[in-house]
């Protein structure tokens, strides 16, 4: 697996150097919600083989070769593409005629809307799933409508355009789930991937947290290992081999993202948020949040409200 991680900032810098016709990061600021969309008719260059720290959804109309992890796939018909940030990939055009759209967005864009929690429990953007959904003519026409509406909204001054964009993106994700009849079954995967998938499902079942009366139960890697009836070292090595992250990293990432959601979308006091997330002492939660976000929970809430 490639160790290089391309950030959104890296991506925009590469675009600036290789193709100025593509979009520019007018509103990009690290740590804040970000979304952008572009037509694929400008995508006539080869993308580098890297992991990304952002999400991407593409409607591909045109021929080309994808390198996705250790696999190669030739695309010769319309397809939706949902790569996971943890798997390195690259694209090389095999024809000059490239149509469709692609959009990119960060974790903050997903986290600020509870409606996207559903998709975090599905096969989308997971290391063990197939990242392509091939489309017939009718399905392609439907997908084009969704992307065209997102593109139009992204260019507009409509004050509620973000809500409209999210609605159309959600429609595309639902479309992919409905059509994904050839998704990878758990028994088809290697043992390490099967274990990671079970862990991922168990992790996502813990969230969202609805009340301080029902705090987070599984907080550490050992808790998940016990639930999955495996040794914690085996769980750690399996997850590391699939995601290039440790079990503890994935758990803490999830807790941090949920902390931001609770601070924004609830009126619980800081101590209640921390307790619900498994922190017995408010100071422990405060230190954890500041380590991840470089700002205190209280300051974060004040900035977002």
pTM here? 0.77
The predicted pLDDT at position 268 comes to 94
**Domains observed in the chain:** 5-184 (2.60.120.280), 187-304 (1.10.10.60)
Q: How far, in Å, CA of 282 to CA of 259, rounded?
A: 13
Q: What is the dihedral of CA 33, 38, 44, 48, to 10 degrees?
A: 10
Q: How far, in Å, CA of 193 to CA of 199, rounded?
A: 10
The predicted pLDDT at position 1 comes to 41
Name the E strands within the chain.
5-6, 35-39, 51-52, 55-61, 64-68, 71-75, 79-81, 89-93, 99-105, 132-134
The predicted pLDDT at position 20 comes to 58
Q: What is the Cα 193 distance to its own chain's centre? A: 18
Determine which helix (DSSP H) or strand (DSSP E) holds 70, and give its type and residue range. Answer: none
70 vs 11, 152, 303, CA distance in Å?
Answer: 22, 36, 42
Q: What is the pLDDT along the chain (305 residues), one digit of tens a residue?
A: 445 788 888 888 877 766 656 666 666 777 788 999 999 886 666 788 888 989 999 999 999 999 888 788 899 999 999 998 888 899 898 888 899 999 999 988 988 887 888 888 888 888 888 899 999 999 999 999 999 999 999 999 999 999 999 999 999 999 999 987 555 454 556 889 889 989 998 998 888 888 899 999 999 999 999 999 999 999 999 999 888 889 999 999 999 989 998 998 899 999 999 999 999 999 999 999 999 889 999 999 988 77
**Max CA distance (Å), the chain:** 59
């Amino acid at each position: 697996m490639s160790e290089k991680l391309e950030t959104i900032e890296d991506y925009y810098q590469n675009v600036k150097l290789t193709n100025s016709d593509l979009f520019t990061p007018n509103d990009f600021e690290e740590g804040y919600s970000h979304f952008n969309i572009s037509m694929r008719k400008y995508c006539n260059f080869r993308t580098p083989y890297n992991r990304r720290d952002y999400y991407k959804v593409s409607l591909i109309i045109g021929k080309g070769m994808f390198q996705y992890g250790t696999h190669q796939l030739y695309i010769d018909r319309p397809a939706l593409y949902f790569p996971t940030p943890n798997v390195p990939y690259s694209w090389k055009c095999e024809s000059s005629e490239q149509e469709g759209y692609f959009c990119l967005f960060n974790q903050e864009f997903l986290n600020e809307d509870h409606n996207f929690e559903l998709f975090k429990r599905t096969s989308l953007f997971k290391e063990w799933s197939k990242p392509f959904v091939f489309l017939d003519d009718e399905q392609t026409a439907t997908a084009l409508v969704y992307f065209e509406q997102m593109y139009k909204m992204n260019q507009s001054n409509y004050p509620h355009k973000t809500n409209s964009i999210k609605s159309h993106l959600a429609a595309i994700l639902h479309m992919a789930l409905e059509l994904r009849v050839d998704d990878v079954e758990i028994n088809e995967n290697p043992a390490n991937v099967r274990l990671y998938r079970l862990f991922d499902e168990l992790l996502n079942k813990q969230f969202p947290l609805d009340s301080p009366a029902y705090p987070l139960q599984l907080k550490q890697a050992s808790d998940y290992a016990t639930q999955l009836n495996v040794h914690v070292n085996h769980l750690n090595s399996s997850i590391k081999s699939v995601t290039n992250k440790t079990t503890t990293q994935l758990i803490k990432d999830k807790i941090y993202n949920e902390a931001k959601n609770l601070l924004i979308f609830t009126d619980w006091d800081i101590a209640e948020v921390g307790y619900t997330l498994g922190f017995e002492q408010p100071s422990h939660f405060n230190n954890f949040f500041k380590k991840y976000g470089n700002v205190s929970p209280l300051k974060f809430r004040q900035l977002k409200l």
